[in-house]
């Protein structure tokens, strides 16, 4: 689920929020929350729910920029893993890259595989730019076994 509309009001709404609140911060799929007129949303619980939705929307946006190749920064790369299975991410990558949803899914998978490899992670983190070469340092010679 990436969008949710709540159109009840009063105590039932507050009860619903209190019911979903435990563990809600582990939700990475809800990116849109709409309220009908009359829904109270001033409590601390509502603030927490709206904050999680805002976080998820920002993660999806950053991850889409990374997967579509628009922004290859570490900041955007770090957003990809938590929302990689989000339908909202697929839609956003599809829109940004002007590709079908199937192609967007493949772009997301490729970028995720790249990040999960050690070299891909080092590139995304900015530790290396293009290639990684290991050079022998000039230090003491290895022991030859003779005294």
With respect to residue 37, please indicate whether it lies within any of the assigned structural domains. yes
Does 137 reside within a domain?
Answer: no
22 within a domain of the structure (yes/no): yes
- Of 126, 119, 53, whose CA–CA distance to 86 is shortest? 53
Whether residue 77 is contained in a domain is answered as yes
Report DSSP state, residue 24. G
pLDDT recorded at residue 106: 98
Cα 123 from Cα 126, distance rounded (Å)? 5
Does residue 143 lie within any of the structural domains? no
CA pair distance 108, 90, nearest whole angstrom: 8
**Does the structure show a pLDDT above 60 at 111?**
yes
Higher per-residue pLDDT: 13 or 49: 49
- Cβ contact 28:89 at 8 Å: no
Residue-wise pLDDT for 23-71, tens only, equals: 889 999 889 887 666 656 567 778 888 899 999 999 999 999 999 999 9
Tokens 């199937």 found at: 102
The number of distinct structural domains making up the chain is 1
Q: Between 141 and 75, where is the model more confident?
A: 75
- pLDDT, residue 115, reads 86
Could you tell me if residue 135 is inside a domain? no
* Inside any domain, residue 26: yes
The most confident of the ranges 3-7, 71-75, 124-128 is 71-75
Q: Which domain holds residue 110?
A: 3-124
């Amino acid at each position: 689920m990436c969008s949710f509309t709540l159109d009840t009001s009063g105590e039932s709404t507050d009860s619903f929020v209190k019911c979903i609140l435990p563990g809600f911060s582990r939700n990475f799929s809800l990116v849109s929350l709409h309220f009908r007129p009359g829904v109270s949303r001033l409590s601390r619980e509502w603030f927490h729910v709206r904050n999680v939705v805002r976080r998820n929307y920002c993660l999806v946006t950053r991850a889409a920029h990374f997967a579509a190749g628009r922004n290859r920064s570490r900041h955007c790369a770090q957003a990809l893993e938590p929302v990689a299975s989000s339908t909202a991410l697929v839609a956003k990558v599809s829109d940004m890259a002007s590709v079908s949803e199937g192609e967007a899914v493949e772009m997301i998978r490729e970028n995720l595989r790249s990040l999960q490899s050690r070299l891909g992670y080092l590139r995304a983190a900015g530790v290396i730019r293009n290639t990684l070469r290991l050079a022998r340092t000039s230090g003491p010679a290895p022991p030859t076994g003779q005294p």
